[in-house]
Amino acid sequence: MSELSAGSDMESSLTEEFEEGSSRTLPEPSLIAETSEGRQEMYPRTSTDEIELRRQQGAVLRIPEAAATAVNEGEVEVSDDETMIINMGPQHPSTHGVLRVMMELDGETVLRSKPVIGYLHTGMEKTGEELSYVQGATNVTRMDYLSPLNNELVYSLAVESLLGVEIPERATWIRMLMSELNRISSHIMWLATNGMDLGSTSMMIYGFREREMILAFFEKVTGLRMNHNYIRPGGVAADLPDGWEEDVELICDTVPKRLEEYDELLTGQPIFRERTEGVGYLSAEEALALSATGPILRASGVPWDLRRTMPYLYYDEVEFDVVIGTYGDCFDRYAVRINEVRESVRIIRQVLEKMPLGDYRTQDKKVTPPPRARIDESMEALIHHFKIYTEGFRVPPGETYVAIESPRGELGCYMVSDGTSKPYRMHIRGPSFVNLQSLPPMLRGGLVADAVAVISSVDPVMGEVDR
């Protein structure tokens, strides 16, 4: 009985909400109450208004107005009883965590789709407001767990741009080295899971093997395999260990050879090409309009890479190519990523040559605690050390937006400071979160079996999508 009454309460609150919010008609309230997802759900065509329908069909791109209407006109009218709305996820192995995609199917063809997210939401932006700038990097590093160093980097760059501190050269080069290694490990991880999604389990094993090599190096440098908290405001946590050059050289020698093996395994493989070529097409206009960045945008033929076009760190001092695709299909996104690994290896070799000697963190006493040896002999140094780790350092009021090119696209951090030792507002622009919007136009008109390939090619990391 109690269950029943709880259900009807919910119904009434939901219907009320609707009456004040919008005028569109909805399916029976009991249907909504059954799922508890409420309005996030995808509804039958009859109860979906036109603009929302167009959005779910992926025809929202009113940038070329004519093109969008053409899509609508070409639309075959399908009645509700001929189509079926199904869920893919959140517990689907190919959804890389807890992504749920609702799809309207006509037979095996996907007509509309809608990603439903939020299953991994842990309020990291809110947490970021409660942590001091010193602690903040431990928080952001857990967002995109496949490229934690890039998250730390964007956070640190944002804090530093508000602080106005100069970062020593060596620290900047170390940051570049680490974020490029992270790009390799992230892309190789993607190759592995993409292979797995498309049925190539051997690729899965090879990919993890190569990633392991890089994670072992990360462990040597930072002490942890993931969630390093290595790049911090003011520099990096520790200098590179002795003999790091040999490790990095070994990675630089091994990875390109293994990439050739992957080429043999996947690139030229007829089954793999069948499954990815012409699947999940996204035009450059669509990608731009949907704010897609990273390999998705580049695969559609737009040569936009923040490392090249708006350089940060010392990316303007190294040579590398921006890899772009032509067709914007799943295969192009694969090709862009595998070739970006090669470019990253190229960058790392240059970093090896150019790595200067010097400090690994700024000597600004405001940000950096005194060295251990000083604490033993000076009371002031002890107090200073204590202050930095308990209270943190104060950051002048202001606001800033910093963006870097993470393996998934533009990773941005909008930070507002109020002059205290905690950020007033910390907003992360997650590339996976934004890129997921390009899923409906990619899926539209394709087969439901291809949805696996398409979702995989977007490379969403749910930790970053939901934050």
| Binding interface with other proteins (CB under 8 A) | 10, 13, 17, 20-21, 36-40, 49, 51-52, 54-55, 60-63, 117-118, 121, 123, 125-126, 130, 161-162, 164, 288-293, 302, 304, 309-310, 397-403, 410, 412, 414, 416, 418-420, 424-425, 427, 429, 433-434, 436-437, 466-467
Q: Least Å distance between CB 206 and other proteins?
A: 34
- The residues near 390 (Cβ < 8 Å, ≥ 6 apart) are none
Q: Which helix (H) or strand (E) holds 326?
A: none
Nearer to other proteins, 232 or 467 (CB): 467
Nearer to other proteins, 155 or 334 (CB): 155
Q: Least Å distance between CB 178 and other proteins?
A: 23
Nearer to other proteins, 87 or 161 (CB): 161
* Residue 324 near residue 299 (C-beta atoms within 8 A): yes
User: What gap in Å lies between CA 210 and CA 258, rounded to an integer?
Assistant: 8
User: What gap in Å lies between CA 431 and CA 287, rounded to an integer?
Assistant: 13
Nearer to other proteins, 355 or 458 (CB): 458
Q: Least Å distance between CB 221 and other proteins?
A: 29
Residue with tokens 């069909």: 57
Nearer to other proteins, 381 or 436 (CB): 436
Before 90, cis peptide (omega within 30)? yes
Nearer to other proteins, 17 or 277 (CB): 17
* Positions of E strands within 95-223: 100-106, 109-116
**Amino acid (1-letter code) at residue 388:** I
Q: Least Å distance between CB 373 and other proteins?
A: 35
**Amino acid (1-letter code) at residue 9:** D
Tell me the Cα Rg of the chain.
24
Nearer to other proteins, 223 or 396 (CB): 396
* Residue 54 near residue 441 (C-beta atoms within 8 A): no
Q: Least Å distance between CB 383 and other proteins?
A: 25
Q: Least Å distance between CB 401 and other proteins?
A: 6
User: What gap in Å lies between CA 62 and CA 83, rounded to an integer?
Assistant: 26
Q: Least Å distance between CB 140 and other proteins?
A: 15
Q: Which helix (H) or strand (E) holds 136?
A: helix 133-140
* Residue 64 near residue 285 (C-beta atoms within 8 A): yes
- 409 - beta bridge partners? 406
